[in-house]
Amino acid sequence: MSDGGPLEVSQSSDAQSSIDDLRRVGKLEAISFLVLLGIGMPLKYLAGLPLAVKICGWIHGLLFVWLVISLWLAKREAGLSARQVLTVFFAALLPFGPFVIDRRLESWRGSAPR
């Protein structure tokens, strides 16, 4: 560790990677939410198949927890502000939110600490 060069590259790489992971998980979580609302709920209420919501709901719930963990890691590794974290979190509560916030996450990736 003479000049800290490799350490700086590693931190930058970790920061960008954590935001990339957050973007991927956000897209998966958003898709699962849309499947739950667009397929699971109609199957439950129109076709009498409550198992559809149970399965889609479990998958969506697990992906949402994964999103929150990824968000925490991105905050820690990429230095996201509290405002950025809250923006992503509240976007995840809306059906198309993660798709809308994705472009902003991409710009935050470019400005991750080096």
The whole-number average pLDDT for the span 88-108 is 92
How many other C-beta atoms lie within 10 A of the C-beta of residue 92? 20
The whole-number average pLDDT for the span 52-66 is 97
Spatial distance between the Cα atoms of 50 and 42, rounded to a whole number of angstroms:
10
In the predicted structure, residue 59 carries a pLDDT above the cut 90: yes
For 17, what's the count of Cα atoms within 13 Å in the CB-facing half-sphere?
A: 7
Q: What is the pTM of this model?
A: 0.82
**Contact by Cβ (8 Å): 18, 74:** yes
Q: Which residues contact 73 (CB under 8 A, 6 or more apart)?
A: 18, 21, 22
The whole-number average pLDDT for the span 11-18 is 79
Confidence band, pLDDT 50/70/90 cuts, at residue 9: very low
Domain range list for the chain: 16-110
Average pLDDT in the chain: 87
